[in-house]
Amino acid sequence: MLSFLRFGVIFSFLLSVIALSLLVMKTFSFGKKPLYAKPRGDAKKGIFYALGRGMLPWEKESSGKHLPSYFAGMLYHAGIFSALFYLLSLTFSLELSRLFISLLRFLFVLGFLGGFTLLFKRILLPQIRKISYPDDFTANIIVDLFLIFAFVHTYSMRATPIFFFLAIVMFLYIPVGKIRHCFFFFYARILFGLFYGRRGVLPPKPHKS
């Protein structure tokens, strides 16, 4: 049963990668926008900014004004990446130290709290609810459950089948729902940095304000 599920995890992951790649190829088939205007700034600097400093809360008003949401999002994603690493270790039977598992456990809890906070916010705030669709709730719930069972699994190996099953569901859901932003996030940030970097807007020049 376990080997079957382990195979399922690997298979669903590969399927997810293939489906996501097809989606990316379809996106790229829309064609590249040629850029003829002479740059005023440095596109590379813009991209580095967009992927680095530009994500710090004081760089963006939308983050700075909403610190709880910002940190909930950060913790959520830290938890997800930790759980994915934990899943990898289980799938390929890698040994992890007790101390490291304790650290992961802590991150799973924080990640779950972050994710749950964002879900709660989506349900409670009417403006956010109005821009939410079943996909927004489903994606969050699947990932929250994945985090919960990653946590449970660190205490009980009996949770392995459920944890693997949730991993399969999550991987299969990635290309069809909003979790696809796991790829598009980075691509969008690069394009954002390119746009404002070329125009000499970002990174912002130091000044006394």
Partner 1 sequence: MKLKHRENQIPNSMSENAHIKDVLEEKIIQLKPEDLKKALQIFREKLNQEYAAYLHSCVHCGLCADSCHYYLTHEDVQSLPAYKLSLVQGVFKKYFSFVGKNFPGWTGAKEFNQAMVGEWVDSFFGRCTLCGRCSLNCSLGINIHLLIRTARSALASMGIVPPGLQSTVDTALEKGNNMGIVKEDWIETVEWLEQELQDEVGDKQARLPMDKKGARLLYTVNPKEPMFFPLSILAVGKMFYAAGESWTLSSDNYDVTNYGYFTGNDEAAATMSDRLVQSMKKLSCKTLVLAECGHGFSAARWEAPEWLGKKYDFEVKSILDIVADYIRQGRIKLDPSPNPNPVTLHDPCNLVRLGGIVEEQRYILKHAVSHFIEMSPNREKNFCCGGGGGQLAMTRFSQRRLKAGQIKADQIRKTGAKIVAAPCHNCIDQLMELNKHYKLGVEVKTICEIAADALLIIRNKDQFKNI
Q: Residues in the site for partner 1, rule: CB under 8 A?
A: 23, 26-38, 40-41, 50, 60-63, 65-66, 69-70, 73, 118, 122, 125-128, 130-136, 176-178, 180-181, 184-185, 187-189, 191-193, 195-196, 199-202, 204-205, 207, 209
Q: How far is the CB of 65 from partner 1 (least distance, A)?
A: 6
Question: How far is the CA of 188 from the CAs of 87, 179, 181, 192, in angstroms?
Answer: 27, 14, 9, 6
* Nearer to partner 1 (CB atom), residue 54 or residue 163: 54
* Nearer to partner 1 (CB atom), residue 141 or residue 157: 141
Nearest to 90 by CA among 164, 146, 162: 164
Total residue count of the chain as it appears in this document: 209
* Nearer to partner 1 (CB atom), residue 11 or residue 68: 68
Question: How far is the CA of 121 from the CAs of 77, 144, 159, in angstroms?
Answer: 17, 14, 29
Q: How far is the CB of 84 from partner 1 (least distance, A)?
A: 18
* Nearer to partner 1 (CB atom), residue 65 or residue 100: 65
Q: How far is the CB of 177 from partner 1 (least distance, A)?
A: 7
Q: How far is the CB of 15 from partner 1 (least distance, A)?
A: 15
Contacts of 159 (CB under 8 A, 6+ apart): 149, 152, 153
Q: How far is the CB of 21 from partner 1 (least distance, A)?
A: 13
Hey, how many other C-beta atoms are within 10 angstroms of the C-beta on 101?
15
Q: How far is the CB of 190 from partner 1 (least distance, A)?
A: 8
Nearest to 153 by CA among 80, 83, 201, 70: 83
* Nearer to partner 1 (CB atom), residue 50 or residue 170: 50
Residue in the block written with tokens 């906070």: 117
CB 108 within 8 A of CB 147: yes
Distance CA 59, CA 41 (A): 19
* Nearer to partner 1 (CB atom), residue 85 or residue 137: 137
